[in-house]
Structure 1
Amino acid sequence: MNVLEHLDSLVLFVIGIAAAPVAAYAFIHALRQRSDAFTAVGKLTKNAWLGITGASAFFMLLIPLFGALTSVSYAGFWGVVAAFQGPGSSMTLFWLAGVVAVSVYIVDVKPAIVGVQGGGQRW
């Protein structure tokens, strides 16, 4: 197979491989924070962000695995790559929404929460 024919799939695969651990990190970070810190910075509640980041991590980890395991045509490396997006997955929209939600948490919510708690806790 020519790699250039599947460049878009490979790019989304790399994003998926990078985004899944980031989603797990975002969930763990939200879990470790005080609940009043979320409302102090004018963001959604802690439980809301736990639900958002938890669902995002779930979809980012489960969708490719489910797609690769449920279809015989997904055997091998290219099957796992194809499971991340496009015609290989009917859940691509959920995966993409998870990437966006985790990105919002990491870029917007996490710095605000760390700042309101004194900035000492970087993890």
Structure 2
Amino acid sequence: MFGPVNSILSLIFWLISVTAFVMSVWALVHAVRIPARAFAAAGKQTKQLWLIILGFATLFTFAAAVNYGGIGTGLPNIFTIAAIIASGIYLADVKPAVTMYRSGGSEGPYGPW
């Protein structure tokens, strides 16, 4: 069902797809661990919206990484590219903003006490 990697180009696309899947999972796990009030305090979209976006991003990148039953060419499609962009926006913009609201009062201005 899943054919062997016959060329260097298909290997590169497969590695990109696996990397995109790992990035989406990382963003989704981070979003799950952050409290909902941190998103509002940072002025970002709601936690529920980000969980939906990142859930679909993880699904689409997983399908690209395993080539979903051998259907298709294995190349990233528009949904995979949109998933990579959504995960990248979360990791580059939202994650740094909400991470500082994660823990309670045990952190000072220069790190944990």
> What's the TM-score once normalised by structure 1's chain length?
0.69
1:70 aligns with 71
What's the Cα RMSD here?
Answer: 2.4
Q: Number of residues paired by the alignment? A: 100
Unaligned runs of 5+ in 2: 1-5, 108-113
2:74 corresponds in structure 1 to 83
Q: CA deviation at 1:21?
A: 1.2
Task: Point out the structure with the larger helix share.
Answer: 1
Partner residue of 1:112? 97
Residue 58 of structure 2 aligns with an amino acid whose one-letter code is A
1:20–1:57 contact (8 Å) kept in structure 2: yes
Is residue 27–residue 87 contact of structure 2 (8 Å, CA) maintained in 1? Answer: yes
**C-alpha deviation, 1:103, in angstroms:** 0.5
Deviations 1:35-91 (A, max 9, x none): 0110111110000000011110000002343445236xxxxxxxxxx4133xxxxxx
Query: Contact 1:68–1:83 (CA<8 Å) still a contact in 2?
Result: no
For 1:65 and 1:12, the matched residues in 2 are separated by 11
- Find the aligned partners of 2:30 and 2:65 in 1 and give their Cα distance: 24
**Distance in 1 between the 2:71 and 2:28 partners?**
27
From the superposition, tell whether residues 62 and 115 of structure 1 become closer, same or farther in structure 2 (CA, over 3 Å): same
Give the structure, 1 or 2, with the largest relative contact order (CA under 8 Å, sep 6 or more): 2
Large movers: runs of 4+ above 4 Å:
none
Taking the aligned partners of 2:42 and 2:85, their CA distance within structure 1 comes to 20
1:42 aligns with 2:27: no
Is 1:93 aligned to 2:78, yes or no? yes
Aligned residues of 2:18 and 2:65 also touching (Cα < 8 A): no
